[in-house]
Amino acid sequence: MTFMSKDDFSPALRKYKLVFLGEQSVGKTSLITRFMYDSFDTTYQATVGIDFLSKTVYLKDRTVRLQLWDTAGQERFRSLIPSYIRDSAVAVVVYDITNVSSFEQTAKWIEDVRRERGDKVIIMLVGNKVDLENIRQVSTLTAEKMARELNVLFIETSAKVGYNIKQMFRRIGEALPDVESALNETQDFQKVCLEKASEPHDDKNYCLC
């Protein structure tokens, strides 16, 4: 475990807000935890309100800081969501491939994002829990079709086993140049960079640490 240098917190480092949306228990927190700490907590605890984490990502042409906002899926917290979508650069809309209802609700989440951000946002649809393929309720083809129709990115993942987690953030990172403006957060947060990576990547110019 290494701490980032002061340069990583300089004003020149562009910051992008990623907000994670979706129904309760689809794995939003688990996706963030796997990406940040390369770990998975088998004990489920619902997110209460909003949680925030920050991670520096090294792309081929620049370094950016991703600010990951984990939102609660429970209905009683829905009124808070628009304010967190409003200044986001990326919306990650997550569903559980074993729960067709959670998939059906993604269209509403995407609609909420576009109502607040219009076209000034990258949206990624994420089908989580592919480690539970034997009880899958939402086919990959069905989700791909929806993603095409709604003009959003799409990927399937497993936070539990770490499948496609880095690929998900890599695709988001590659799409970021299309975003015209970055966040101007006044608060700064300490960022821990973990050197251990569970998924190999051949591109030496790209680092997710």
Predicted local confidence at residue 187, as pLDDT: 34
Report pLDDT for 48: 45
What pLDDT score does 59 carry?
81
Mean pLDDT across 76-84: 70
Residue 196 scores a pLDDT above 50: no
Query: Looking at residue 208, what is its pLDDT?
Result: 55
Residue 185's domain comprises 2-208
Q: If residue 28 lies in a helix (H) or strand (E), which one and from where to where?
A: helix 28-37
pLDDT of residue 71: 82
Digit-coded pLDDT (tens) for 15-54 = 999 999 999 899 999 999 999 999 887 654 554 445 789 9
- Rounded Cα distance between 156 and 185, Å, is 31
**Which domain CATH number covers 146?**
3.40.50.300
Strands (E), the chain: 2-3, 14-22, 50-58, 63-71, 90-96, 122-128, 153-156, 192-193, 207-208
Tell me the per-residue pLDDT of 124-181, one tens digit each, with 9 for 90 and over. Answer: 999 999 999 999 999 999 999 999 999 999 999 999 999 999 999 999 998 986 444 4
Tell me the CA end-to-end span of the chain in Å, nearest whole number.
10
Q: What's the pLDDT score for residue 41? A: 72
Rounded distance, CA 105 to CA 23, Å? Answer: 7
- What's the structural domain count of the chain? 1
**Is it the case that residue 65 has pLDDT exceeding 80?**
yes
Average pLDDT over the chain, rounded to whole? 79
- The span from the CA of 67 to the CA of 19, in Å, is 8
Q: What is the pLDDT of residues 92-132, one digit of tens each?
A: 999 999 999 999 999 999 999 999 999 999 999 999 999 99
